[in-house]
Amino acid sequence: MNKTVIITILVLIIAVGVFAYLNAADSEDRLRSQREAEIYIEVGDERMQEVDFDTIMDLQQHEFTETLQSSDSPASDHDYRGILMKDLLEKYDLLTEDIEQIITRAADGYTVALGIGEVMADDNVYIVYEKDGKPLAPKEEGGSGPYMVVIREDEFGQRWNKFLMELQLQ
Q: What is the mean pLDDT of the chain?
A: 90
Q: How confident is the model at residue 11, as a pLDDT?
A: 86
What is the total residue count of the chain? 170
Q: What is the pLDDT confidence band of residue 34, given thresholds at 50, 70 and 90?
A: confident
Q: How confident is the model at residue 122, as a pLDDT?
A: 95
Domain range enclosing 70: 3-169
Residue 49's domain is classified under what CATH number? 3.90.420.10
pLDDT digits (tens, 9 = 90+) for 85-126: 999 999 999 998 999 999 999 999 999 999 999 999 999 999
In percent, the amount of the chain with pLDDT more than 70 equals: 92
Helix H or strand E segment including 34: helix 3-36
Q: How confident is the model at residue 93, as a pLDDT?
A: 95
**Number of domains comprising the chain:** 1
Question: Which strands form 39-43's sheet, in the order they lie side by side?
Answer: 46-51, 39-43, 164-169, 101-106, 111-115
Position 24 pLDDT exceeds 60: no
Q: What is the pLDDT confidence band of residue 40, given thresholds at 50, 70 and 90?
A: very high
Position 25 pLDDT exceeds 60: no
